[in-house]
Chain A
Amino acid sequence: GAVVSQHPSWVICKSGTSVKIECRSLDFQATTMFWYRQFPKQSLMLMATSNEGSKATYEQGVEKDKFLINHASLTLSTLTVTSAHPEDSSFYICSARGYRAGRNTEAFFGQGTRLTVV
């Protein structure tokens, strides 16, 4: 399957600082990226969908000014958690879909990022 690389795999930051999470598609063109959040022992909740070169579409209840998503190229999307607070601590997972060898791909997932805000 295609490879999606997410970095960092874990990060600890102080309350009030910002954290950037990167999601890269290594061997295909990711026209669409999805960002999910997962609380302990719960399912993945979609935060936003971004298409390359366009503004992200946020799910209801997700603050777009707090969770900044950039998808400026076909291989990279970033999620920036601004002015992080302890309640933002969670596991964030990106997913990418697009084209490889002229064919549509299904969604492939990054390894996830464990964010802890202290």
Chain B
Amino acid sequence: AQSVAQPEDQVNVAEGNPLTVKCTYSVSGNPYLFWYVQYPNRGLQFLLKYITGDNLVKGSYGFEAEFNKSQTSFHLKKPSALVSDSALYFCAVRDTSGNTPLVFGKGTRLSVIA
């Protein structure tokens, strides 16, 4: 079975500082990993994904994530946070076999303080 853990319910960071939102995963085979962002009463917006290749994945709005197979982690990072980055962030995983749905973490609320 696949699972995703986001250990932090809330992350607070000052504007301009680097941010990290943590994610670890468990999957039987090779993982496909995703990060999504959700604003209030909105659907999910895709940020980035790891399928294969370089462990450092660059995505939308200046976000990036590093796939670490040995630590089974896929932490989301941004060098300099903006107030507008404040939102709910979800890490998700699916395995590479078949047409399987995404399994989501519980989400981490990011607050960027001016």
Contact = CB atoms under 8 A, between A and B. Distances in A.
A51 B45 CA distance: 23
Contacts of A97: 99
A93 B42 CA distance: 9
B46 A108 contact: yes
A32 B90 contact: no
Contacts of A43: 90, 104-107
A112 B99 contact: no
A9 B49 CA distance: 27
B20 to A, nearest CB: 20
Given A93-B44, A108-B46, A109-B44, A49 B101 contact: yes
Interface residues of A, number: 26
B60 to A, nearest CB: 10
Interface string B22-57: 000000000010101000011111100100000000
B90 A107 contact: no
Contact of B102 (A1, A51, A95, A114): A95
Interface in A1-44: 1, 6, 9-10, 31-32, 34, 41-44
Contacts of A95: 101-102
A112 B46 contact: no
A9 to B, nearest CB: 8
Question: Which are the 6 A-B pairs with shortest beta-carbon distances?
Answer: A111-B43, A109-B44, A112-B43, A43-B106, A109-B43, A43-B104
Interface of B: 32, 34, 36, 41-46, 49, 90, 99, 101-107
Interface of A: 1, 6, 9-10, 31-32, 34, 41-44, 46, 49, 51, 91, 93, 95, 97, 106-112, 114
Given A43-B106, A106-B34, A110-B43, 9 more contacts: A10-B41, A31-B99, A34-B102, A44-B104, A46-B101, A91-B41, A97-B99, A107-B101, A109-B46
